[in-house]
Amino acid sequence: MNKSTNKPECKLIGEDSNIFNLLSKASRTLKDNGMKDEADEMWKRVTSSGSFDEALCIIGEYVTIV
């Protein structure tokens, strides 16, 4: 967990850049850190976003991308 932001760290850099792969990894990270509600909210926001860049920014609101 990143202490400065209270967002868990999630290794996404260098991973398969398919947005659903990244979303799944971020969602699992949140759930593993007891943040199921945030994972559900993030999933809804990302799947209704309009672009890859927008989706990635939303993921970054919930996890610290490393």
What's the pLDDT score for residue 4? 53
Where are the extended beta strands (E) located within 4-51?
A: 9-10
Within 13 A of 56's CA, how many CA atoms are on the CB side? 10
> What is the CA 26 to chain-centroid distance, rounded?
4
- The residue type found at 28 is R
Predicted confidence (pLDDT) per residue in 13-46, tens digit? 888 889 999 999 999 999 999 999 999 999 999 9
d(CA 46, CA 1): 22
Taking 90 as the threshold, does the pLDDT of residue 66 lie above it? yes
Checking if the pLDDT of 6 tops 90, the result is no
